[in-house]
Amino acid sequence: MAKKPAILFLCTGNSARSQMAEAFARYYGGDALILQSAGTHPVGVHPNAIWAMNEVGLDISHHTSDLLSSKNLEDFDYVVTLCGEAQESCPVLPPTTHQEHWPLPDPTKIRGNASQVMKGFRVIRYQIEHRVRDLLRRISG
């Protein structure tokens, strides 16, 4: 039996972007993948990320915000960084690990009224979903 590809989604706070990416990968990839997310400085799952994912039928309210150092990077075939700080903080990866960088704005930093903030979360959510689907297509080759 072939080894399941393992993907780690990495962000600073592990509160929004990496959580959404993990959820979409789990939805589209199912049991064919090993999926985790982590943060260089985890701060908990952001309530607006939970709301934005619930809006598309995915519940991430049970997700935890994990510290990068709690992960064994040798276990992952792919590490996807979703912000510049995570990319810069990412330790040296094993030579067999593929790294991708998705430089997406942090939706938790969006300011404005509730409608503007949620619109920003939706835009980032859509971009993450598109990139996750593309990644999974390339992995399944």
Q: What are the pLDDT digits (tens) for 7-46?
A: 999 999 999 999 999 999 999 998 999 999 999 999 999 9
Contact 4, 32 (CB under 8 A): yes
Instruction: Give 66-84 pLDDT, tens digit per residue.
Output: 998 888 888 999 999 998 7
What does the pLDDT average to over 50-55?
A: 97
Query: Active-site positions?
Result: 11, 83, 90
Q: At 58, which amino acid appears?
A: L
Q: What is the Rg, in whole angstroms, of the alpha carbon atoms belonging to the chain?
A: 14
In this prediction the pTM is: 0.93
- What gap in Å lies between CA 135 and CA 123, rounded to an integer? 19
CB-CB contact of 73 with 94 (8 Å)? yes
Query: How much is the pLDDT for 138?
Result: 94
